[in-house]
Amino acid sequence: MKPAFSVVFLTTLSGAGQGLLIALFGVEVAARFGMFAAADTPPQTFFVIGAALAVVLGGLGLLASFFHLGHPERAWRAIAMWRTSWLSRECLALPVFLACAFAYGVAHWFGSPWSVEIGALGVIASAVLFVCTSMIYACLRFLQEWATPLTMVNFVLLGCASGFTFATACAAWLAPSLVGGLAVCAGVLTLAGCASRIAALMRNARLRPKSTVQSATGIKSPNLVQKSRGFTAGAFNLREFFHGKTPQTLQRIKWTFLVAAFAVPVVLIALGGSASSIADSLWLLCAACVVQYTGLVAERWFFFAEARHPQNLYYRQAS
């Protein structure tokens, strides 16, 4: 498939925002249960700025999605098929998540006693949005690379990993006492995301196309060979269903995202979480956020490019 950067940014940005809100809620619940000493209780500004960042990330993802539309002025029609379409459900779930994240920040700004309840609604909205986004791809059974439970697992783990990394960087700035615990969570989630992504790569490497030239034409001869796709000019099928990159390029991108999204961030998170000074911790964790997000953009690009649409058995053949 040909990756659309609008969708790449939508899924990675909103995923990070969802993971960040989950991290904020986890910290607040831990504080409510007395898991922090009185001196280590996180300040309200940590939750306010964290929620604002979650809204910004989700809002940027929503903005990016409009660049994928041929007629953005008709975007409201995307919700019309919510009973049967995961895409329509995603279009409903994303604004709900943004509203919950905004309300969560406002609740902390005014010191509302209902912040935990609002945060719980935000976590539920995040979970629903993860399901809707991942099922857009996992439900497509003719794309074998996507039609696996690992698709949903990866969307959730990678979103939470990046969100917790953002939360750890925010803590280094606003609540240094939280850095150690959040760094451990971010590191564990990053490693779990790495394991699940490698599992998906290994699975997909073993896949073989279910369609063949014989099944497409109905000619059973084992010697049937396609020489040409029948035209030389560009076409919609070539633009939208085939990325046009060489296997060597795909291999480089795969190793790039494995290093940038997982290996380097784990090292930076570990160094930032154990740094002796706040300044060192802050810049190391900010670097982890930047490197990890860059790696996740490459990972999501590869996720789309890796999927082999059955129509490419015919249309990518050149004489």
Q: Confirm whether 93 is domain-assigned.
A: yes
Domain presence at residue 234: no
CA–CA separation, 95 and 90 (whole Å): 9
Residue 319's pLDDT is what? 43
At 232 the pLDDT is 65
**What's the rounded Cα separation, in Å, for the pair 14 and 222?**
48
> What integer pLDDT is reported at residue 318 of this predicted model?
53
Parent domain of 309: 5-218+239-315
Overall residue count recorded for the chain in this entry: 319
Per the domain annotation, does 232 fall within a domain?
no
Q: Give the count of domains, the chain.
A: 1
pLDDT attached to residue 233: 67
Q: Whose CA is closest to 185, among 19, 33, 56? A: 19
Q: What is the pLDDT of residues 199-253, one digit of tens each?
A: 999 999 999 877 777 877 788 888 887 777 666 666 777 777 878 788 899 999 9
CATH assignment at residue 246: 1.20.1630
72 lies in a domain? Answer: yes
- The parts of the chain modelled with pLDDT lower than 70 are 38-39, 229-234, 316-319
Give the position of tokens 């049967």: 84
Residue 212 to residue 308: CA distance in whole angstroms: 13
pLDDT confidence of residue 231: 65
Judge whether 32 lies within some domain: yes
Residue 190 maps to a domain:
yes
Examine residue 223 and state whether it is found in any structural domain, yes or no. Answer: no
pLDDT in tens, 64-94: 988 877 777 777 777 888 889 999 999 999 9
Smallest CA-to-CA distance from 281 within 270, 290, 272, 289 is with 272
* CA-to-CA separations, 193 to 4, 123, 258, 270, in angstroms, rounded: 23, 19, 10, 16
**230 domain-assigned:** no
Q: Is the pTM of this model over 0.85?
A: yes
| Residue corresponding to tokens 């995301």 | 193
